[in-house]
Amino acid sequence: HADWNDVAQRALQEQQRLGNSVDALVTLSSLSEMQASQLQASQPVDLDDIVLEIAQRPGKVPVSAANVSAARIQGRPDLLERLVRNLVDNAQRHANNRVEVTLGSTDGVVQLLVDDDGNGIAQADRERVFDRFTRLDEGRSRDRGGTGLGLAMVRSIAERHGGTVHCEASPLGGARFVVELPSDYQGIATPPLGRKI
């Protein structure tokens, strides 16, 4: 006999996963059509506030934000929140015990590092992970909650804010994702920081 509670739970999980995939595809599509200079509703954003809030959310493993310092950029708060959340969610899915987030600003560049102590990503796959629907071995599958779109969205959001993202080996033993964003990016048609409208 079927365990109908189990069947219903799996159906709900699959429905949620499908909904997340559709939402991500819609966002990616709109980002693909958008030039950085056309980014709407942009404003000064304290990225450290977003990072600290997301780091405090419950997850599979705790997130250390001890090395987060002030960093302000020009951009869309909702998209930047999604960028950080996708990276932290990804790290938590694949970590064994630790995720660390580092944020700082130097010479007009804001750098965000997200490290985990999982199995890491082979050098040959470190670019491919940003392709849509890419899931690597090591259980990076729907069983782990991923849609294969989160990292593609991270790259698209970073690029629309004049930045970059790449993957490398983490000192913790797993993967490190590095996002660099220009703190003084002026491709977005809003007043510079500190200037009154």
Q: What is the DSSP string of 157-187?
A: HHHHTT-EEEEEE-TTSSEEEEEEEETT---
Give the pair of three-digit tokens for residue 105.
């600003």
Percent of the chain's residues with pLDDT above 90: 51
Q: What is the dihedral of CA 152, 154, 157, 161, to 10 degrees?
A: -130
Locus of tokens 């909904």: 19
Whether residue 123 has pLDDT greater than 70 = yes
DSSP result, 66-81:
EEE---EEEE-HHHHH
pLDDT band with cut points at 50, 70 and 90 for residue 49: very high
CB 21 within 8 A of CB 132: no
Residue 44 belongs to what H/E stretch? strand 43-46
Q: What is the pTM of this model?
A: 0.74
Both tokens assigned to 143 = 């069983």
Residue 188 has pLDDT above 50, yes or no: no
Give 50-97 pLDDT, tens digit per residue.
999 999 998 889 999 999 999 999 998 999 999 999 999 999 999 999
Write down the pLDDT at residue 192: 34
The whole-chain average pLDDT of the chain stands at 80
**What average pLDDT does this structure show over 138-165?**
75
For tokens 């294969």, the residue is 148
